[in-house]
Copies of this chain bind each other. A is one copy, B any other.
């Protein structure tokens, strides 16, 4: 199998999720999506597939092999990225789900997410520039004033300028409360920004004329901690004159001049090698203009819009990366002959393809369960996001938003963590060849590792889930999830899915409620350490359960399909096998995880640093 035969994502699976599991076209009954239907969904999906397979994927390996260069203070990216950037913009990747008012296509996120997964599977780094740009533009769309929108957002959504998120600082890392970049207000209204940022993805490049950094900084005199952090748009180049209302005609602002934003160094990342990660200096010469987005001191709250979008996007990155590797391993297992069936004693018999070996099928089925389970969770979360934004009923919107909030840390973490294991299995299926850079799986394995680190590490997602999401509004989100799970159990029953699966999922959901109540009591007593001690196990518990829920939904849709004679039947049988695998191999783990959370097992709590 050559690379070009790798489908990256299974088309039938995407169709299955959108039309058989989720019934995404029902969204088109809502006014916002009224111009859409299955036909426009499929058209966008087909365009993304084609671009992913024919244009992006062939650039993946060359870009991985030649990372950006830092020369003369500026970053030069791989030439192939320049060839793919415009086609991605023209496809509408920046604005697929944005409203027509800002030039968007108003596609449901559930469609844009799955379509985007093809592009990410084909070339993660190339997509990174667009994901950052659209996320940054969306911040300005939501919180910026008309001047900022005209100055920055319009050009960003058009792909003329790029965007970044500039949060992390060397001394603070994940601790945004410790942001020290300063912003001093000038009489002209703009701010002078000064500080250092690190790990700025796409912080400089030569794909676009200009780059707008959505930057966290502290206004002089602001309170300490997260309550004193504000959000600024800090462009690489600024208009010589800042116009009152900067419309789309460039000359109103005069020519673009450097804004004292400098690349201080490039980090040699082990993956995502097409997207530079930079340390950057703002205002070393005292001439870095920043433009306040929204109100002062609201920066963290605003930034959470981009961070939450980015977290779901990281989940899609992760699922896509695992998917590309899974399909590569699957293709390899069909064509690589080695050994014979167990019990075959005839050394003259021809060797069999390795997919005939049970343990190879185990590794492939595990990858399938992780990859397709992840995609299902991400599609489901995206559908809730569509409902949260557009559902007719305010109560339904609120309920959907709670589900999005609850599922976001899970949809980021499960694909990143289990995706890494899945990617390692893809290497393993390739044997010794998998350990070489002549084959692709090792590159995807490197790419994948970042997803457990950036946009909030796995540890931080666990604290977010248990410390914030499940306790918000008296546990309303978990109740909403419980309702969704019950609906799926009902559907599975009606479809004739193995009844034990629904029962076990229901029992696991009750167990989760019980554990959560128990931990919530510790929190209510003020014992936050005790409540959060097993947040990693709690995350694993929720993830395992939520993916079981997704597999039950897929099993139900598969049974429905088999009943009505949908094709290919083998695809639906495969879904049932993967569901069986998850229910028999993974779901039983929730008991031990719940026991750890509930007992408060204290080995690492009482382990003193000097005891290591």
Residues of chain A touching chain B, judged by Cβ–Cβ distance below 8 Å, are 168, 171-175, 177-178, 198-199, 223-227, 267-271, 277, 330, 333-334, 336-340, 342-343, 347-348, 351, 353, 355-365, 368, 420, 424, 427-428, 431-432, 434-438, 442, 445, 449-450, 452-454, 457-459, 462-463, 526, 528-529, 532-533, 535-536, 570-571, 573-574, 577-578, 580-581, 584-585, 588-589, 592, 595-596, 599, 601, 603-612
With a CB–CB cut-off of 8 A, which chain B residues contact A336?
A: 173
Nearest-CB residue, chain B, relative to A575? B611
> Does B434 lie within 8 Å of A529, measured CB to CB?
no
Other than the given A574-B608, A577-B603, 16 more pairs (CB < 8 A) read A173-B336, A174-B431, A178-B339, A225-B347, A226-B347, A267-B438, A269-B435, A334-B609, A359-B459, A365-B612, A434-B453, A570-B608, A574-B611, A577-B604, A581-B604, A589-B592
A319 to B525, CA, bound (A): 42
Given contacts A453-B435, A571-B611, contact A178 B351 (CB under 8 A): yes
Given contacts A168-B432, A343-B529, contact A173 B338 (CB under 8 A): yes
Nearest-CB residue, chain B, relative to A199? B432
Nearest-CB residue, chain B, relative to A582? B603
* Cβ-neighbour of A603 out of B437, B584, B592 (below 8 A): B584
> Does A603 lie within 8 Å of B589, measured CB to CB?
no
> Does A610 lie within 8 Å of B453, measured CB to CB?
no
Given contacts A269-B435, A432-B168, A435-B453, contact A529 B604 (CB under 8 A): no
Q: List 16 A-B contacts (CB under 8 A).
A: A178-B339, A178-B351, A224-B347, A268-B436, A269-B437, A342-B528, A343-B529, A353-B609, A359-B462, A362-B604, A434-B453, A570-B611, A573-B608, A584-B599, A585-B596, A588-B592
Which 6 A-B residue pairings sit nearest by Cβ, starting from the closest?
A: A225-B347, A574-B611, A581-B603, A224-B347, A359-B459, A175-B339
> Does A436 lie within 8 Å of B269, measured CB to CB?
yes
> Does A438 lie within 8 Å of B268, measured CB to CB?
yes
> Does B601 lie within 8 Å of A577, measured CB to CB?
no
A172 to B351, CA, bound (A): 9
Rounded to whole Å, the gap between the CB of A19 and the closest CB of chain B is 20
Nearest-CB residue, chain B, relative to A595? B588
- State the copy count for this chain: 2
> Does B612 lie within 8 Å of A368, measured CB to CB?
yes
A202 to B219, CA, bound (A): 60
> Does A528 lie within 8 Å of B339, measured CB to CB?
no
With a CB–CB cut-off of 8 A, which chain B residues contact A571?
A: 611
Rounded to whole Å, the gap between the CB of A406 and the closest CB of chain B is 20
A526 to B577, CA, bound (A): 26
A427 to B271, CA, bound (A): 13
> Does A347 lie within 8 Å of B177, measured CB to CB?
yes
> Does B330 lie within 8 Å of A612, measured CB to CB?
yes
A401 to B427, CA, bound (A): 34
> Does A436 lie within 8 Å of B267, measured CB to CB?
yes
> Does A532 lie within 8 Å of B342, measured CB to CB?
yes
Given contacts A532-B358, A604-B362, contact A611 B577 (CB under 8 A): yes
> Does B351 lie within 8 Å of A175, measured CB to CB?
yes
* Cβ-neighbour of A611 out of B359, B420, B528, B573 (below 8 A): B573
* Cβ-neighbour of A610 out of B172, B351, B462, B570 (below 8 A): B570
A437 to B351, CA, bound (A): 41
A605 to B362, CA, bound (A): 8
> Does A359 lie within 8 Å of B270, measured CB to CB?
no
A355 to B361, CA, bound (A): 40
A13 to B208, CA, bound (A): 55
* Cβ-neighbour of A578 out of B340, B570, B588, B603 (below 8 A): B603
Given contacts A428-B453, A588-B595, contact A603 B420 (CB under 8 A): no
A420 to B581, CA, bound (A): 24
> Does B574 lie within 8 Å of A607, measured CB to CB?
yes
> Does B224 lie within 8 Å of A348, measured CB to CB?
yes
> Does A529 lie within 8 Å of B365, measured CB to CB?
no
With a CB–CB cut-off of 8 A, which chain B residues contact A173?
A: 336, 338-339, 431-432
Rounded to whole Å, the gap between the CB of A225 and the closest CB of chain B is 3
Rounded to whole Å, the gap between the CB of A611 and the closest CB of chain B is 3
With a CB–CB cut-off of 8 A, which chain B residues contact A580?
A: 601, 603
* Cβ-neighbour of A437 out of B224, B268, B362, B462 (below 8 A): B268
> Does A606 lie within 8 Å of B585, measured CB to CB?
no
A177 to B334, CA, bound (A): 21
> Does B435 lie within 8 Å of A533, measured CB to CB?
no
Rounded to whole Å, the gap between the CB of A346 and the closest CB of chain B is 8
> Does A271 lie within 8 Å of B435, measured CB to CB?
yes
> Does B427 lie within 8 Å of A449, measured CB to CB?
yes
> Does B358 lie within 8 Å of A604, measured CB to CB?
yes
With a CB–CB cut-off of 8 A, which chain B residues contact A428?
A: 452-453, 457-459
With a CB–CB cut-off of 8 A, which chain B residues contact A224?
A: 347-348
> Does B431 lie within 8 Å of A453, measured CB to CB?
yes
A363 to B458, CA, bound (A): 11
Nearest-CB residue, chain B, relative to A601? B584
Nearest-CB residue, chain B, relative to A578? B603
Rounded to whole Å, the gap between the CB of A511 and the closest CB of chain B is 15
Nearest-CB residue, chain B, relative to A568? B610
A225 to B364, CA, bound (A): 28
A453 to B316, CA, bound (A): 29
With a CB–CB cut-off of 8 A, which chain B residues contact A365?
A: 603-604, 607, 612
> Does A357 lie within 8 Å of B459, measured CB to CB?
yes
For A458, A585, A607, which residue has the most chain B Cβ atoms within 10 angstroms?
A607
A225 to B340, CA, bound (A): 11
> Does A174 lie within 8 Å of B338, measured CB to CB?
yes
